[in-house]
Structure 1
Amino acid sequence: MTDSTLAFDPSAIAVRPLSPWTRLWNITAFRRGTILVLLALVWEGYGRLANNPLMFPTFTDTAVAFYDALVHGTLLKKSQTSLEVLLMGYGIGSAIALVLAGLAASTRIGEDVLATLTAMFNPLPAIALLPLALLWFGLGTPSLLFVLVHAVLWPLALNASAGFSSVPETLRMAGRNYGLTGWRYIALILIPAAFPAILTGLKVGWAFAWRTLIAAELVFGVASGSGGLGWFIFENKNRLETASVFAGLGTVIIIGLLVESLVFRVIERHTIRKWGMQR
């Protein structure tokens, strides 16, 4: 038997093409869209079976209420109001969290300060601070910003600090050998290496802030001269417009899905996945 007979020829393997359904099912957006469609069908079926629009409207009734509130009502304006306040609080809380985590990574006293503050305030629900916020800042945006900063600050600071602590010593030594110190060392060495943990903290902080904002608006609701999404839900609950209440809740979910898909997944794809830090 000759060597040519024993040689392996990769071209001899027949590659079976994937079926159209398999190619379609491999698309993440299609799979998740299928899940949403199935949930909508279950919702519609249960709503028709219950036959009680006041307690549980159907998906169709909710979709009609959503369209009416979006096109002819105030849903778009109230969503914009909530998002503006949310972004301000989220930005302030994220900046403070990264400063605290950077100080904790640089100095021993900074580490003690962060550990003490997180042990004190992280278990404290942000919404529990709302009465104090109302006393200190009155009814309006400053009170909402206060509770939002609290909601974002501690989970992000903890995740960032844990990420900084897990940076390999070889990277730390490389940074010192290049003469990096202080904030340049944190920005060029620690943050890129710890970015998976920081991104996780940003996601958790966003979720906490979004929930806190809606809960706070359900209590008093006024921000920047008008109510937000939480106030929209509260008003429709008082008017017994249950389909509109579901439409408001659906808007909260839709915005959360859009932020996850269009913001965090894009950042993840262009950073930690591109760098080979995550599958």
Structure 2
Amino acid sequence: MSLSLEPPIRQEYEYTPAAATLRIAPGPAPLVRRLRQQTWLRKTLILAALAVLWEAIARWQHNDLLLPSFLQTASAFFDGIASGELLDRIRTSLAVLVQGYAAGVLAAFVLTALAASTRVGRDLLETLTSMFNPLPAIALLPLALLWFGLGKGSLIFVIVHAVLWPLALGAYAGFQSVPETLRMAGRNYGLSGLRLVLHILVPAALPSILSGLKIGWAFAWRTLIAAELVFGTTSGQGGLGWYIFQNRNELYTDKVFAGLAAVILIGLLIENAVFRPLERITVLRWGMQR
């Protein structure tokens, strides 16, 4: 008895495919597709929609004292720019903000580097952040007035407090998330202490550090405006918060909204002209963030 090793032959069938009935819709034109991919255009459209909504609500409410229209606010804003008054207030506020923010960033870096290098520094950071991070910066303003008087020093003090703790927490959390293999690689190259922090931990934790910088900037900006609203002038010159408060007392609501618009526009400018390019040339370019 012999076994056949030939594979079985299957019967062949011929199928006629049915006529295609689905039509693929043509895709959008290349120009439209490119415009959809422009982030600045999408954000501009959002701002334009909000402006139209603001104008419609103001016209429907019809009370300039409570809610001036977008066109009235824009007119007051450009009048303040043309006269130089609003520019002087913005310049005064930004000068104080830069000094306080830089001091807060430096203090946060020193504290975080100490925490990443030593156990005592880690305990110090955890203790101080637990104590002072929940404390609102504006609550320290009376104490700042006693220590530094009615001037720039008090504003810088509360700004440093607003920046220091969120940035230190963000940077320290980023350091804690650095893989142990990177730390071991740094130690194999002879890095330790501050050199390990600068060459290994800071680049690896950069997404968390940038987030902390952005949060610290927002806290510093709102703290400065709130502090100026409370006690107004700094060294004889009022900032943007004092501009808003003064016009509120004089019932110039359009100027109040113009001052608020200046706060918003400065926030948008810093975000898109400073932080976004910084993210683009670092974490986005290195593939650390989507």
Give TM-score scaled by structure 2 length.
Answer: 0.90
Identify the match of residue 61 of structure 2 among 24, 30, 50: 50
- AA aligned to 1:217 is E
Partner of 2:227: 216
Identify the match of residue 206 of structure 1 among 207, 217, 234: 217
1:144 aligns with 2:155: yes
Tell me the secondary structure at the aligned position of residue 288 of structure 2.
coil
**Cα deviation per residue 1:38-59 (whole Å; 9 max; x = unaligned)?**
0000000111111100000000
Aligned length: 265
- AA aligned to 2:278 is I
Q: 1:208 to 1:182 in 2, by over 3 A?
A: same
Q: Decide which structure has the larger Cα Rg and report it.
A: 2
Partner of 2:79: 68
Paired with 1:22 and 1:48, the residues of 2 have a C-alpha distance of 36
Partner of 1:9: none
Partner of 1:113: 124
- AA aligned to 1:38 is A
Paired with 1:226 and 1:146, the residues of 2 have a C-alpha distance of 18
Partner of 1:190: 201
- AA aligned to 1:118 is T
Residue range with higher mean Cα deviation, 219-228 or 152-161: 219-228
Identify the match of residue 262 of structure 1 among 265, 268, 273: 273
Residue 17 of structure 1 and its aligned partner are, at CA, apart by 6.9
Unaligned 5+ segments in structure 2 are 1-25
Residue 129 of structure 1 and its aligned partner are, at CA, apart by 0.3
Identify the match of residue 226 of structure 1 among 237, 243, 251: 237
Residue 73 of structure 1 and its aligned partner are, at CA, apart by 4.2
1:11-90 matched pairs, under 5 angstroms: 18-90=29-101
- AA aligned to 1:106 is S
Paired with 1:16 and 1:227, the residues of 2 have a C-alpha distance of 56
Tell me the secondary structure at the aligned position of residue 66 of structure 2.
coil
Partner of 1:162: 173
Runs of 4+ aligned residues of structure 1 deviating over 4 Å after TM superposition are none
Partner of 1:11: none
Paired with 2:84 and 2:72, the residues of 1 have a C-alpha distance of 16
**Cα deviation per residue 1:224-257 (whole Å; 9 max; x = unaligned)?**
4311000000110011000000000000000000
Paired with 1:111 and 1:232, the residues of 2 have a C-alpha distance of 42
Paired with 2:83 and 2:97, the residues of 1 have a C-alpha distance of 24
Residue 221 of structure 1 and its aligned partner are, at CA, apart by 1.9
Identify the match of residue 103 of structure 1 among 110, 114, 126: 114
**Contact persistence 1:159–1:198 (CA under 8 A):** yes
Identify the match of residue 254 of structure 2 among 239, 243, 251: 243
- AA aligned to 2:36 is W
Partner of 1:273: 284
- AA aligned to 1:253 is I
Residue 223 of structure 1 and its aligned partner are, at CA, apart by 1.9
**Cα deviation per residue 1:12-46 (whole Å; 9 max; x = unaligned)?**
xxx96744223212110000000000000000011
Unaligned 5+ segments in structure 1 are 1-14
Paired with 1:234 and 1:245, the residues of 2 have a C-alpha distance of 8
- AA aligned to 2:135 is L
- Of Structure 1 and Structure 2, the greater helix share is in 1
**Cα deviation per residue 1:247-278 (whole Å; 9 max; x = unaligned)?**
00000000000000000000000000011100
1:133 aligns with 2:149: no
**Contact persistence 1:160–1:201 (CA under 8 A):** yes
**Cα deviation per residue 1:176-232 (whole Å; 9 max; x = unaligned)?**
011011111110010000000000000000000000000000011222431100000
Superposed CA RMSD: 1.1
**Contact persistence 1:233–1:245 (CA under 8 A):** yes
**Cα deviation per residue 1:110-129 (whole Å; 9 max; x = unaligned)?**
00000000000000000000
- AA aligned to 1:167 is V
Residue 87 of structure 1 and its aligned partner are, at CA, apart by 0.6
- AA aligned to 1:190 is L
Identify the match of residue 189 of structure 2 among 178, 184, 190: 178
- AA aligned to 2:68 is P
Give TM-score scaled by structure 1 length.
Answer: 0.93
